[in-house]
Each structure stands twice: as structure tokens, then as C-alpha cells.
Amino acid sequence: MGPGPSNVHPRVLRAMSTPLLGHLDPSFVEIMDEVQELLRYTFRTDNKWTLPVSGTGSAAMETAIANLVEPGDTVLLRTKGYWGDRMAKMARRAGGEVVSLPTPANEPVDPADVTEAFYDHDIDVYGICHADTTTGIRQPHMSELADIARDHGAYTIADTVTSLGGVPVTVDEWGVDVAYSAGQKCLSLPPGASPFTINERAIEKVLNREESPRSWYLDLSLLEDYWGEERAYHHTAPITNVYSIREALRMVAEEGIEDRWERHRAVAGELKAGLEALGIEYNAAEEHWLPSLNAVEVPDGVDDTAVIEYLLEEYNIEIASGLGDLDGEIWRIGCMGHSARRKNVEYLLAAMEDALAQQGYTA
């Protein structure tokens, strides 16, 4: 019940013990096709260039930045946020110049600030974190933000690492140009194969770059030789991770993406009601609540680390502390994928009540 990795379903673990096929074996190519189709379903997109990046969520993030950002491009980001700051570091390495939004780390981005930034600067690429794992805040207005960028001729990149497969992500409806994610959150698969999708408009920019991306490994035009029609060797795919993502995505399709979103909302809703009954407050306002990551305030007089250790030692439950400025201020409780189950929530609530009582806390 931490911020990821979430528990992996036994079906996915079993799929990972399947004997290896060659990365160009016709049977493996069929598996690749299936993974790509299932990824389109999960992202709610028809984008042809949709594939799992070999690596963790940061590799998928860097695939977006390294390909879309050209030397001299201006990139708009909310750099006070943990993930926007990571994107900014990557954008600078790609030769881009970063313009920072003024939004504090602990608030969603206001479209009015984005509009103003677009009037003040000639922005080429805009990065948005949809689901912030550090603050438990869900960014609303995704379509509006993508529209602002498109109207100014810019491209949007959406980080859906902590939302894909658990919280509504609708790439085509939002109109974002690129979206990426990771396996170890709401998809419940081991880190290593990270969902990525890019639309035709952004592919045009990538294919017409004046110079190649600085990363060879993450160069989309080369990756597409392997994941596209040609099926030519680029690097040896992490076969076992591809098995795992296929099985996890099959489970998404069997459950149905909308039912899966609803399960996360309902189960995390029970967690929220239970924690609030214990007198624990949420970091995010109700309208920005992120069901997959519940960031809650540590009550006054309670030692956050002692509670984390007690839950782990006595109950075998993992939750996490805050990162950066929120260290010591919040706990981060995941409700993701195979871990988003009622019995987990009930167990955690009982354990939390005990852990707080050990600290002398009463609601």
C-alpha cells in the first residue's frame, strides 16, 4: 500500500516464468502486436505509435523529452513539483530552455497561469503531471491545458505514471500529444516495461528534427523500426517484461477500463472515509483527490517514521513518508492495481488505528 511498486497479481508472476522466445520470433511478434493493441485500449487512444519502453517510468519520461525537445526549444514546466523538476533536468540535457510555472508544489496547475506563460514566452513543449505521486493531487483541466498548448502551436506531454489503469486517462479525448506511464503503479506489473504513446502531429515533429535525439537508445524513429511494421532489431527487448505487461493489460481489458477506474475510486473511497473517521486529513482538496495515491497529513504529536515502521513490522504493510518539503508532514498510501482491494483497506485501517494508539493518538 505504498506509492509503488504495488502487489503483482499471481497471473502476471506466472506469465513471467514462461520460457523465453527470441525478440524476433514470429510468436513473440504476435505478443508485441497484442501488447500494443492493449496499450491503445488502456490509454484510450488510436495512436499508431504506442509501445512499451524498455526501462522504468523515467525511461518513458526521457523518451518523451529526448524526442520532442530539440536544442533551443522552450519547455514549460511546473518545476516546483517533483516530477516537473525531473522533466526540467531532462529537457535541459536535451538542449531545451525551461520556463517555470509559478504554481507551488502542493497545488494543481491553474490554466490561467499556463495561458499567461504562453503569451509571455514562445513555448514549444509543455509537460504536465496528471497524477502527482508526491502530493496525491490529480491535475484537472487536462483537455483545457492541451488546447492552450495546441492553440499556440506547442506540444503537450502528459505524465500518467500514477494514473494509467486506475484513474481516468483518456489520451485522445484530452488531446495530449504524448503520454507515458510505468508498470509498477495501477497496472501492477514489475518495473521494466513502461507504456508510451505519441500522436501523428508529434511524430511529424520528431521525424523532422534537424538533429537526431541525443539518446540513441530512446530514439523513437529507431524504436519504431522494431515496434512498427518493419520489426527490425534495435535492442533485445526485455522478453519477460513484455510477457508481464501483456498479462497485466489482458487483466485490464477483462475487467474493463471503466470498471477498473470505478474499483479504484470505490476502494480508495473506503480508505478515505476510514482515515477521515480516524481524524486524519487529506493533503489534496476533495476535487483534486487522487484515488491511487492518498497523501494524508501526519497528526500533530505523531512520529511518522515510527508509524511506518510499526505497520511494516507488526502488520507487514508498507506505506511511505513524504518526499522533499513534505517529509515528516504526510504519509503516502497507495491504492493501486492488484493492491486496490477492500480487504487490504480494511486491514490497513485496523492496523493504522493500532499504530496511532501506540503513539498515544486518539481521534
Ligand X SMILES: Cc1ncc(COP(=O)(O)O)c(C=O)c1O
307 binds ligand X (CB under 6 A): no
The residue among 173, 197, 195 whose CA lies nearest residue 184 is 195
**Choices 111-119, 156-164, 166-174, 316-324 (CB under 6 A): range interacting with ligand X:** 156-164
Which of 117, 142, 161, 335 binds ligand X (CB under 6 A)? It is: 161
**Choices 11-19, 155-163, 205-213, 246-254 (CB under 6 A): range interacting with ligand X:** 155-163
For 221, counting Cβ atoms within 10 Å of its Cβ (0-12 exposed, 13-18 middle, 19+ buried), the class is middle
159 binds ligand X (CB under 6 A): yes
61 binds ligand X (CB under 6 A): yes
Q: Considering the complex, state which of residue 192 and residue 213 has its C-beta at the smaller distance from ligand X.
A: 192
Which residue's CB comes closest to ligand X? 57
58 binds ligand X (CB under 6 A): yes
Q: Considering the complex, state which of residue 133 and residue 215 has its C-beta at the smaller distance from ligand X.
A: 133
Adjacency order of strands within the sheet including 320-321: 293-297, 330-334, 320-321
56 binds ligand X (CB under 6 A): yes
Say how far apart CA 149 and CA 45 lie, in whole Å: 19
218 binds ligand X (CB under 6 A): no
The residue among 240, 259, 339 whose CA lies nearest residue 35 is 240
For residue 110, report the phi and psi dihedrals to the nearest 5 degrees.
-95, 125
What contacts 13, CB < 8 A, 6 or more positions away? none
Which of 39, 42, 50, 57 binds ligand X (CB under 6 A)? It is: 57
Say how far apart CA 340 and CA 285 lie, in whole Å: 21
83 binds ligand X (CB under 6 A): yes
Q: Considering the complex, state which of residue 94 and residue 355 has its C-beta at the smaller distance from ligand X.
A: 94
133 binds ligand X (CB under 6 A): yes
DSSP one-letter code for 184: S
178 binds ligand X (CB under 6 A): no
Which of 2, 52, 81, 191 binds ligand X (CB under 6 A)? It is: 191
CB of 354 to ligand X, least distance (A): 28
| Coil vs helix vs strand at 53 | strand
Q: Considering the complex, state which of residue 284 and residue 356 has its C-beta at the smaller distance from ligand X.
A: 284
Q: Cβ(142)–Cβ(149) under 8 Å?
A: no
Packing angle, helices 57-68 and 82-93, rounded to 10: 50
CB of 240 to ligand X, least distance (A): 17
